[in-house]
Amino acid sequence: MSAFSDDLAAGLEGVLSEVGERYLYCRHQHSVEIRAAAGKTDHLTLDANGLTVVVRTLDLLFDAAELVLSGTLTEPLRGDKLVALEAPGQPVYLVQPDKNIPAFRYSDAAQTRLRVHTVRFKK
C-alpha cells in the first residue's frame, strides 16, 4: 500500500473510534454488532417511468472484518438489516433494496473497509 493509503486507513480508524456508533447487523436469524460511521451518497437511478431520479442513501462505513455471521466472514447482501443501537427508537436500515444501486462498495484499495448503502426501513 502507498503512504497515502496507509494514512487514509489510519484516519478512518480514528473516525470510527471517535464518532462511530454501534449497529446490529442482521441477516435472517444471524446477527453481529459492528461499529460504523455514517455518511451519505447521492445515486442517479431510473424510476418506474424511466425518469432519472436522485436517491440519497445513508452509508455506513465499517471494518470488513467485523462482518462475521454464523462464524463466516461475509459481504453485505440486499435486504440485510442494520439496527442503530444508540439512536432514539433504534431505527432500522435496509441494505440498499434498489437493484439499480449497488448494496455496497469497498472504500479502500486493500478492501478492508466497507461502505454499505442503506435506506431507512419504514414499518
For the chain (length 123 residues), average pLDDT per consecutive 10? 59 62 97 94 84 87 96 96 94 85 89 92 78
Domain extent at residue 70: 3-120
Taking the C-alpha atoms of residue 63 and residue 65, their distance in angstroms, rounded to an integer, is: 5
Residue type, 115: R
Taking the C-alpha atoms of residue 108 and residue 82, their distance in angstroms, rounded to an integer, is: 22
Number of domains in the chain: 1
| Predicted pLDDT of residue 15 | 54
| Predicted pLDDT of residue 20 | 86
The contacts of residue 16 (CB under 8 Å, 6+ apart) are 35, 36, 37, 61, 62, 63
> Is the separation of the CB atoms in 37 and 60 below 8 Å?
yes
Instruction: Encode 28-50: b = buried (16+ Cβ within 10 Å), e = exposed.
Output: eeebeebebbbeeeeeeeeeeee
Structure pTM? 0.78
DSSP code at position 64: G
Taking the C-alpha atoms of residue 73 and residue 65, their distance in angstroms, rounded to an integer, is: 7
